[in-house]
Amino acid sequence: MKAARTPLPVTQPAEERLSNADYQRVAQFVTSATGIKLPPAKKIMVEGRLRRRMRALGLSSLHEYCELVFDSGTCDDEVVNLIDAVTTNKTDFFREPTHFTFLNKTVLPLLYQEGHAVKMWSAASSIGAEPYTLAMVLSDFADTHPGFRFSIMASDISTEVLSQAARAIYAEDMIEPVPLAMRERYVLRSIDPARRLVRMAPEIRAQVRFLRINLMDARYPVDRDMDVIFCRNILIYFDKPTQEMVVRRLCQHLRPGGFLMLGHSDSIAGLSIPLKSYGHSIFRRE
């Protein structure tokens, strides 16, 4: 009887691997363009995502892809695709639900008493779950508070996720955190149940305006009297100086007394910023 042969390990072809030098070019570019850090531990993830772009362009290697992006001088559009490819877009409806409870129980009644139209900004909004959650919460509040008016702006650096957010079509499993009453009112199911897809109702889609914003930009095309800004779970990808710069710029668009919601994994400890803590990850501009 012949001994069983041990299968050889599967490795990626050399032409589909990023050299350390090319990875450094990618990482340095992404950090300078977006503030997002790409440590060595992210190399395999970045390879996988750029491999899809390499194949879409008909290139034979990741090195050739890097030469096209960084050396040809003729590929500005691909720079946007590269950023889209390597930025992580994790999101859920009603993610970190304590923020929405605080919004509904504390912030909205306060703003309603003030009587002005409420402005909210979902920064780093990814595929739209966060701003559509806001739209559902605010729509419910408006139904029981006559005259309540609001607008929601949502932004992200990735054109790909913004396009997906505008379509507002999601896998059925994604809406599990949405309360049943809201699902029945604001979520449409596919005519074909086998597809297991849902779409936000037209009145909810109409409440959200999407645009591309890079938080590293010196200026944001955003009103300077926002009542609430959500900027959650993005600061963790920045170093401390970048965190302080971004939060200071966000505060410039937050009216005095306005609220900033950060992610539970974000920390602004030690930063010199005009905010007062209202509990974990909830802050108010002084």
Q: What would the pLDDT profile of 181-193 be if each residue is shown by its tens digit?
A: 999 999 999 888 8
CA angle 280, 118, 247 (to 5 degrees): 40
pLDDT at 12: 47
- pTM to 2 decimal places: 0.83
**pLDDT band for position 70 (50/70/90)?**
confident
**Residue range 148-167, pLDDT digits in tens:** 999 999 999 988 899 999 99
Percent of the chain with pLDDT over 90: 59
Query: Domains (ranges, CATH) in the chain?
Result: 14-86 (1.10.155.10), 98-285 (3.40.50.150)
Residue 274 has pLDDT above 80, yes or no: yes
CA within 13 Å, CB half, 170: 25
Mean pLDDT for 86-91 is 76
By annotation, the residues acting in catalysis are 49, 156
Q: Which DSSP string do the residues of the chain spell out, in sequence order?
A: -PPPPPPPPP---GGGS--HHHHHHHHHHHHHHH-----GGGHHHHHHHHHHHHHHTT-S-HHHHHHHHHHSS--HHHHHHHHHHHS-----TT-STHHHHHIIIIIHHHHHHHTSPEEEEEES-TTTHHHHHHHHHHHHHHHTSTT--EEEEEEES-HHHHHHHHHTEEEGGGGTTS-HHHHHHHEEEPSSGGG-EEEE-HHHHTTEEEEE--TTSS--SS-S-EEEEEE-S-GGGS-HHHHHHHHHHHHHTEEEEEEEEE-TT---TT---SEEE-STTEEEE-
Pick the more confident residue, 4 or 179: 179
**pLDDT band for position 6 (50/70/90)?**
low
In angstroms, the CA 225 to CA 265 distance is 26
Residue 8 has pLDDT above 50, yes or no: no
